C-alpha cells in the first residue's frame, strides 16, 4: 500500500478541503484528544516564535536615540504594545506549561479545552499588538497620525478577517450543513 493511500484513509477530508476531527470515525476519544493536543502544541510553536521575536524587537526600540526623542504619545503606544505582546506570549506559552505541569495526570481533555481558549485569546492579542506596531512605526516614519491610524485600521481588518471572521464563517456554514443533513 502506498503512503498516499494510507494518508487518505487516516485523515479523511470534509467537503470543504479541511481535515475534520468529526470525520475520523475510527479514532478513539483518547486518540482524538491526544492528536488534538499534539496539533495544538505544534500550531502554537509558530505563534510563540513570532511573538517572542516581536517582544524582543519592542524591548530594543525603547533604547534607541530616536525613541528617546519621541513624544509621550509614542511612548504610551509603545508601552501598550509591549503589554499586549507580553500578555499574548503568556497566553500562547501557557498550554506548554500546563502540559508539563499536568503531565501524566489524565488531564489532556482539560488541557486541550483551556489551551484552545488560550490560543484564541493569545492570537487576538498578538493581532492587536502587531496592529499597534504598525501604528507606532508609521507614526514615527510618516509623522502623520491620521494616515498611521488608517494603516493600523487596515491591518486590524486584515487580521480580523483572516484569523477570525473567515474561520468563524466556515464554522457556521459547517454547523448549518450538519443541521440540514441531520434534520
The verdict on residue 148 lying in a domain is yes
Q: Which residues pair with 19 in a beta bridge?
A: 13
The verdict on residue 4 lying in a domain is no
The verdict on residue 144 lying in a domain is yes
Provide the CA 140 distance to its chain's centre, in angstroms: 27
The verdict on residue 33 lying in a domain is yes
The verdict on residue 34 lying in a domain is yes
The verdict on residue 16 lying in a domain is no
The verdict on residue 66 lying in a domain is yes
Other C-beta atoms closer than 10 Å to the C-beta of 106 total: 8
Under the banding of pLDDT at 50, 70 and 90, the label for residue 14 is very low
Residue 36, phi then psi, degrees to nearest 5: -60, -45
What does the pLDDT look like over 62-95, one tens digit per residue?
A: 999 989 999 999 999 999 999 999 999 999 999 8
The verdict on residue 5 lying in a domain is no
**Containing domain of residue 169, as a range?**
22-182
What does the pLDDT look like over 104-139, one tens digit per residue?
A: 877 788 888 999 999 999 999 999 999 999 999 999
Return the sign of the alpha-carbon dihedral for residues 64, 70, 76, 77.
Answer: negative
Contacts of 164 (CB under 8 A, 6+ apart): 124
* Number of separate domains in the chain: 1
Amino acid at each position: 500500500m502506498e503512503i498516499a493511500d494510507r494518508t487518505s484513509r487516516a485523515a479523511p477530508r470534509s467537503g470543504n478541503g479541511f481535515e475534520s476531527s468529526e470525520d475520523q470515525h475510527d479514532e478513539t476519544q483518547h486518540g482524538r484528544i491526544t492528536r488534538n493536543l499534539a496539533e495544538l502544541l505544534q500550531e502554537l510553536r509558530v505563534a510563540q516564535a513570532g511573538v517572542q521575536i516581536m517582544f524582543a524587537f519592542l524591548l530594543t526600540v525603547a533604547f534607541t536615540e530616536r525613541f528617546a526623542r519621541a513624544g509621550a504619545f509614542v511612548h504610551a503606544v509603545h508601552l501598550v504594545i509591549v503589554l499586549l505582546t507580553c500578555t499574548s506570549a503568556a497566553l500562547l506559552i501557557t498550554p506548554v506549561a500546563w502540559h508539563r505541569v499536568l503531565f501524566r495526570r489524565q488531564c489532556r481533555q482539560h488541557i486541550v479545552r483551556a489551551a484552545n481558549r488560550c490560543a484564541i485569546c493569545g492570537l487576538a492579542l498578538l493581532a492587536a499588538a502587531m496592529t499597534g506596531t504598525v501604528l507606532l512605526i508609521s507614526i514615527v516614519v510618516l509623522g502623520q497620525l491620521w494616515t498611521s491610524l488608517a494603516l493600523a485600521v487596515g491591518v486590524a481588518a486584515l487580521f480580523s478577517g483572516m484569523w477570525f471572521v473567515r474561520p468563524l464563517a466556515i464554522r457556521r456554514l459547517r454547523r448549518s450543513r450538519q443541521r440540514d443533513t441531520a434534520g
